[in-house]
A and B are shown apart, each in its own frame.
Chain A
Amino acid sequence: MKIVVCIKQVPDTTEVRLDPKTNTLIRDGVPSIINPDDKSGIEAALQLKEQCPGSTVTVLCMGPPQADVALREALAMGCDEAILLSDRAFGGADTWATSSTLAAALKKIGYDIIITGRQAIDGDTAQVGPQIAEHLGLPQISYVENIQVESEDTLVVQRQFEGFYHIIEIKTPCLLTALSQLATPRYMTVHGVMDAYREKEVKLWTLADIEDTVDKANLGLKGSPTRVMKSFTKQAKGAGTVLKDLSDDEAVAAIIAKLQEKHII
């Protein structure tokens, strides 16, 4: 089986801080990571490869040249091939244009199974996976928490929804979006890291490499139906009452009085 995992390099948002003076994101020194759901997808792909001898895992990333690091990490985990889609023409893309670009590259790469993360922690949209599937005319299953290979061309997948889950049979080729609980990513080995930098390569693909599989009008900022009108930091809600130095009983009395005043109890 040919498995392709689409990954995104994201800032580690648990590290993101706001500048108290300017109210803007402090990006300096914020580490970049492989988006967690995508990394779970890489691990799931590697496990599928181990189960199905002869399979290969290709990892595909659209991003700036710095995303090379994320792809090297994927190679060090054991992926066979890495492709970085990077071109100014792809910049400023919304999910529609991003998925068009990735779909164009996927047409060139070929696939039996495409795995994307459910969503990226910077944008949280969860849209690119399903949108790639639509561009390629593939069935999709999102929120995947378990994958079993049933036969050469059939997977049985557990998909989580709120309050229930589905067990679904799906034929390849198909696209799955991975939850972070799908698989716990393995660590890179020393050997793997050496290979990733010495033996393996990250192929750089630009617009020229996908030109014949995509309409240029669908790429980047120009190909994006949506645009950001403005962005701003959130205002905290107006201050309430903070009580301190109360005994526990006084605290309980204060709470009950307030809840009664507000007709909550």
Chain B
Amino acid sequence: MSKNIYVYAEQRDGELQKVGIELIGEAKRLAEVLDQKVYAMLIGHNITDQAAALIAHGADGVVVVDDPMLKDYVTEPYAKAVTAIIKEKDPEIVLYGATSIGRDLAPRIASRIHTGLTADCTGLSITEDTKLLAMTRPAFGGNIMATILCENHRPQMATVRPGVMKAFEADPERKGEVEIFKVEFTSADMNVKIREVVKAQHKSLDITEAKILVSGGRGVGNAENFSKLHDLAEVLGGEVSASRAAVDSGWMPHDRQVGQTGKTVRPDLYVACGISGAIQHMAGMENSEFILAINKDEAAPMLQIADLGIVGDLHKILPKLTAALKELKEQ
């Protein structure tokens, strides 16, 4: 009988990704309803010492596969490792982050073990009567939400957008078991050869990790004007992001794009500058804790969802706001 919730705790270069920690938090909430336990799957090389952090964030146990074959992410060895754990442990639910890696890995595993997989979920719950995992996700560019069930296959699997679920605070007092899980790899499992791993150039924080985002849209007007957003972001200690319109115009790189085709963000403060608020953009930022919108157009939908909306000229307001915040800081 399938039991317990397993979370794929993604690491890159030995560094745990926030989304895995978020999923442990969400899995704990679901597990409470089901009266089951939450286990993290930690796959990689020289990563066993990271297990403690996963337990501190709420995992009841961690299953570790540590092998030189798993140094860099390659689909087949990782798929083999996770599949082996699923076959052995027979979980009821398995969750993955909807990151590049999660979305490469999870469908492969779903096909292999013949079960369903729901992509890019933004909401999870347990149905009252049947105790199934109800997986809610946006479709049609965020215009429609669909809730999806996987009734007859196990495990029920989903990839979940980073930044959507809330992590538990780390508590070093939490206790859990670490199991070293052996998987026999052969050279045939390494069916592609990584020649080079190249880090992207700029060092700024990924926008999904930022606590404060200053985000620009069409109303910013051109690439140069983004300096006003950078100045504000600097004094606030945040990062700069952009709408699809600004990215498509070439004003900002694609990895800064918020929205359905970009990234989902959930910062404490989201400053929307000259972003009208297409539904696809809203889908990526509407769960921000506090939304400040500055827009010339009174009818902009962004002003309607903002916690504070200012009808005004961002080109004048942003420099003044930056200066005022600097002054406040110096006091």
Interface residues of A (CB under 8 A from B): 11, 13-14, 16, 18, 25, 94-96, 99, 121-131, 133-135, 139-143, 156, 160-171, 174, 181, 224-234, 236-237, 239-246, 248-249, 251-256, 258-259, 262, 264-265
- A244 to chain B: closest residue by CB: B311
By the criterion CB–CB under 8 Å, are A255 and B310 in contact? yes
Give the CA-CA distance A141 to B328 in the complex, in Å: 50
User: Of B108, B236, B321, which one neighbours A134 at CB under 8 angstroms?
Assistant: B108
Shortest beta-carbon distance, A125 to chain B, in Å?
Answer: 4
Give the CA-CA distance A47 to B120 in the complex, in Å: 32
Interface residues of B (CB under 8 A from A): 12, 72-73, 75-76, 79, 99-101, 103-104, 106-108, 110-112, 114-120, 134, 138-153, 191-200, 206, 212, 236, 254-255, 260-261, 268-269, 279-280, 283, 286, 290-292, 294, 298, 303-313, 316-317, 320-321, 324-325, 328
Shortest beta-carbon distance, B128 to chain A, in Å?
Answer: 13
By the criterion CB–CB under 8 Å, are B111 and A131 in contact? yes
Known: A25-B140, A162-B255. A232 touches B145 (CB 8 A): yes
By the criterion CB–CB under 8 Å, are A229 and B148 in contact? yes
By the criterion CB–CB under 8 Å, are B107 and A126 in contact? yes
Known: A16-B143, A242-B303, A244-B298. A169 touches B134 (CB 8 A): no
Known: A95-B107, A264-B290. A125 touches B120 (CB 8 A): yes
By the criterion CB–CB under 8 Å, are B200 and A164 in contact? yes
Give the CA-CA distance A233 to B140 in the complex, in Å: 11
Closest 8 CB pairs of A and B: A225-B116, A134-B111, A244-B311, A226-B116, A125-B119, A127-B107, A242-B309, A240-B307
- B309 to chain A: closest residue by CB: A242
Give the CA-CA distance A120 to B1 in the complex, in Å: 36
Shortest beta-carbon distance, B160 to chain A, in Å?
Answer: 13
By the criterion CB–CB under 8 Å, are B313 and A242 in contact? no
By the criterion CB–CB under 8 Å, are A162 and B100 in contact? yes
- A142 to chain B: closest residue by CB: B104
Starting from the known contacts A94-B116, A96-B115, A227-B148, 9 additional A-B residue pairs (CB-CB under 8 Å) come to: A124-B120, A130-B107, A161-B100, A163-B255, A166-B196, A229-B149, A230-B147, A240-B309, A251-B312
User: Of B145, B195, B292, B307, which one neighbours A234 at CB under 8 angstroms?
Assistant: B145
By the criterion CB–CB under 8 Å, are A225 and B290 in contact? no
Chain A interface, >50% SS class: mixed
Shortest beta-carbon distance, B96 to chain A, in Å?
Answer: 12
User: Of A164, A168, A169, A232, which one neighbours B144 at CB under 8 angstroms?
Assistant: A232
By the criterion CB–CB under 8 Å, are A126 and B119 in contact? yes
User: Of B145, B309, B324, which one neighbours A233 at CB under 8 angstroms?
Assistant: B145
**15 cross-chain CB contacts under 8 A:** A13-B140, A123-B139, A130-B107, A141-B75, A165-B197, A166-B198, A169-B192, A169-B193, A169-B194, A233-B145, A234-B138, A234-B279, A242-B309, A251-B310, A256-B325
By the criterion CB–CB under 8 Å, are A248 and B313 in contact? yes
By the criterion CB–CB under 8 Å, are A231 and B144 in contact? yes
- B193 to chain A: closest residue by CB: A169
- B200 to chain A: closest residue by CB: A163
By the criterion CB–CB under 8 Å, are B148 and A143 in contact? no
By the criterion CB–CB under 8 Å, are A224 and B116 in contact? yes
User: Of B192, B261, B317, which one neighbours A248 at CB under 8 angstroms?
Assistant: B317
**Residues of the A chain whose Cβ atoms lie less than 8 Å from the Cβ of B317:** 248, 251-252, 255
**Residues of the B chain whose Cβ atoms lie less than 8 Å from the Cβ of A240:** 291, 305-309
**Residues of the A chain whose Cβ atoms lie less than 8 Å from the Cβ of B119:** 95, 123-127
**Residues of the A chain whose Cβ atoms lie less than 8 Å from the Cβ of B320:** 248-249, 252
